[in-house]
Structure 1
Amino acid sequence: MKTERIEVHESGPNIFADLGLPDADNHFLKAQIVAELYRLTNERKLTQARAGELMGISQPEVSRLFKGNFREYSVDRLMTFLTGFDRDVEIISRPRVADGDRGQISFRPAIA
């Protein structure tokens, strides 16, 4: 039996950037928001239909969203979905710590 060698590479924090996908930062931000929506849905033991009611979308749309098909949604719309779960969303702008680097957008869910 022949063993196949698998090449392993260290990844950065954004898998979409590591894969060289266009608009990787925006896609990563959306993925983080969708992950939080999924977490909230499971934490509250909601059906996809009930989660859809809170977000203002249909159950099939929730299913597609949770399967990773969220390119059609803007970050703004996804943040609005969070407010349907009684979440406040804050946007904070602050100076970049590292000189010369471009600023970045990040998502951090609050610990309740």
Structure 2
Amino acid sequence: MQRVCDAEETAVEPGSDNVLADLGFDNPEEELLKARIVDHLRSLVEELGLTQSAAGERLGLRQPDVSRLLRGRTGGYTIERLLRFVRLMGEDVTITVSRKPGEVRDPGRLDLAIG
């Protein structure tokens, strides 16, 4: 028997720009930044045609650790360490600090531009 979904049964809540914040993660901005850095690392490994073992040699990691990292397991890795990995893959990293416009009440935004 096919069930018909009544629109009144399902409440839809608009999300933010950060799904990790919506899911209640601790430090969602930092976790999203880590995820974006790892996504870039994954792209670099692919672009360079490296195996996980070869990537591990560059990064100073064992192959199983590279595997976990490239699958998004960022526990135990700081943003600083992940950015060092990006540098070890031959990329430049530039950190820009800018003044938040208007009255400062809330913490500033944490963002990553890749390009």
Which bracket does the TM-score occupy, shorter chain normalised?
0.7 to 0.9
Contact 1:27–1:71 under 8 Å retained in 2: no
Aligned to 1:2: 3
Aligned residue pair count? 110
Equivalent in 89, 92, 95 of residue 93 of structure 2: 89
Equivalent in 105, 108, 111 of residue 110 of structure 2: 105
- Distance in 2 between the 1:45 and 1:19 partners? 34
- TM-score normalised by structure 1 residue count: 0.86
1:57 and 2:61 are equivalent in the alignment: yes
Identity of aligned residues (%): 34
5+ residue gaps in structure 2? none
- TM-score normalised by structure 2 residue count: 0.84
Question: Of the two, which has the highest radius of gyration?
Answer: 2
- Distance in 1 between the 2:11 and 2:96 partners? 40
- Distance in 1 between the 2:37 and 2:102 partners? 25
What is the CA-CA distance between 1:68 and the residue it aligns to?
1.6
- Distance in 2 between the 1:83 and 1:93 partners? 19
Q: State the Cα RMSD in Å.
A: 1.8
- Distance in 1 between the 2:12 and 2:73 partners? 27
